[in-house]
Amino acid sequence: MSTLPGEVTPDVVPVRGEAPALEWVEVDREVVAWNAEREELHRLDPIASLVFLLCDGVTPVRVTIEELAASFGQPADRISADVLTLISGLARDGLVQLR
């Protein structure tokens, strides 16, 4: 399974930010989130929203990749880089934290 440079690896456990630091709503399978510290609004596309919703603070990225691969009928290797990039972006925007 491939990895990207940086802190996000398949072994990290991402967790969504919590209120009041992060407020979010899911609207028709897309997430709109408010990062209170940075005073920034974000709208996530459906794929990013799905990954965000899977950041439950329990599930390692490796398992998330496997579950998404199964859902989309794709080999894990094919989607892992995209998932790692998405989680890295979510972390960079302060929407998830990495454990």
Partner 1 sequence: MTTLATRPSVATTPAPTTWAWSSGPCRALEHTFEVVVEAGWPVDALAPVVAPFRVRGGAHAATTPRVRYEIRSADREGRVAAYADGERLATGRSTAAVLGGLAWHINRSVIEHSVDRYVLMHSASATLAGVTVVLAADMESGKTTTVAGLLRSGFDYVTDEAVALDPETCLVSPFPKTLSLDPGSWPLFPECAPRISGHRLQWFVEPYRLGSTVATAPVTAPEIVLFPKYVAGATTEVLPVSPAEATHELARMTFDFARHPRRNLETAARVARTATCARLRIGDLEEAVELVHELVSQRILDTL
Task: List contacts with partner 1 (CB under 8 A).
Answer: 19-20, 23-25, 27-32, 34, 36, 39, 41, 43
Cβ proximity to partner 1: between 49 and 97 the closer is 49
Nearest to 64 by CA among 46, 50, 45: 50
Q: To the nearest whole angstrom, how small is the minimum distance from the Cβ of residue 21 to partner 1?
A: 10
Q: To the nearest whole angstrom, how small is the minimum distance from the Cβ of residue 26 to partner 1?
A: 8
Q: How far is it, in rounded angstroms, from Cα 60 to Cα 37? A: 26
Q: How far is it, in rounded angstroms, from Cα 95 to Cα 37? A: 11
Q: To the nearest whole angstrom, how small is the minimum distance from the Cβ of residue 86 to partner 1?
A: 17
Q: How far is it, in rounded angstroms, from Cα 50 to Cα 4? A: 20
The token pair that represents 43 in the structure block: 């709208």
Cβ proximity to partner 1: between 27 and 63 the closer is 27
Cβ proximity to partner 1: between 12 and 48 the closer is 48
Q: Is 34 helix (H, G, I), strand (E, B) or coil?
A: strand
Q: To the nearest whole angstrom, how small is the minimum distance from the Cβ of residue 22 to partner 1?
A: 9
